[in-house]
Amino acid sequence: QVQLVESGGGLVQPGGSLRLSCAASGSFLSINVMGWYRQTPGKERDLVATITSRGRTNYADSVKGRFTISRDNAKNTVYLEMNSLKPEDTAVYYCNAEVLTRSIVAEGYWGQGTQVTVSS
């Protein structure tokens, strides 16, 4: 009932920037938390950043000062501005949303992921 569509991934050189977007659509009453996670082959999916409906943010230590998460509640969209990118930022980035459905059940949803590659 809820779709998350990510965009903005790609290939960038070290020190460069990318802006990821994730738009939520479907049937739900509200979105409490939206966030970004990343995963490399054979590794766990790790939290990158989250943002609440009121704009409170949380970041992984590895991206603090470089990444900025933001949210447009009217568009049900979350963004991740990534600056000063490093090769170790290379991963598939997944959007996540915790929503309250119209059946009044809290559910978590994942997007399909977007590849970010940082390489010379």
Q: Residue 84: what residue type?
A: S
Distance of CA 55 to the CA centre of its chain: 14
Instruction: Say how many C-beta atoms besides its own lie within 10 A of residue 65's C-beta.
Output: 9
Cβ burial, residue 54 (10 Å; 0-12/13-18/19+): exposed
Angle CA 107–62–4, to nearest 5:
30
The pLDDT tens digits for 3-49 are 999 999 999 999 999 999 999 999 999 999 999 999 999 999 999 99
Q: What is the DSSP string of 21-39?
A: EEEEEES-SEEEEEEEEEE
The pLDDT tens digits for 45-101 are 999 999 999 999 999 999 999 999 999 999 999 999 999 999 999 999 999 999 999
Q: Which of 89, 28, 13, 20 is nearest to 51 (CA)?
A: 20
Average pLDDT over residues 109-115: 97
Sign of CA dihedral 84, 34, 62, 44: negative
